[in-house]
Amino acid sequence: MSAQQRPLVGQVVTVFRNRLRPEAAADYTEELAEVVALAHEMPGFVETKTFVADDGERCTVVTFADPVSHRGWAEHPRHREAQRHGVASYYAEYSIAVGETTHASVFRR
């Protein structure tokens, strides 16, 4: 964990859980790469990580520095377009949880 990736009070964390439709994987990967690259360029972007469970569920954790930068990403026209396209073409199901960090700590050995 780099110093930039340490959790800080006030950061906004989004947990995006989803399952892809079987036929969507190839096209999804291409559009995802474009959208992730855009997120990295947004003011206040901290990090994003995606994990895939054995049962195929995907979990992406996205962190922005503060509510203002998170809102900028949430309302970005290309991001909104990708969300609509995801519902129409890629996702079998998804859930989103967004929260502002109220406590943060780090342990290192």
For the segment 2-33, what is each residue's pLDDT rounded down to a tens digit? 656 689 999 999 999 999 999 998 899 999 99
For the segment 39-83, what is each residue's pLDDT rounded down to a tens digit? 999 999 999 999 999 999 999 999 999 999 999 999 999 999 999
Distance CA 42, CA 64 (A): 9
Distance CA 32, CA 39 (A): 10
Would you kindly state where each structural domain of the chain is located, as residue ranges? Answer: 34-60+67-101
Strand partners, 49: 61
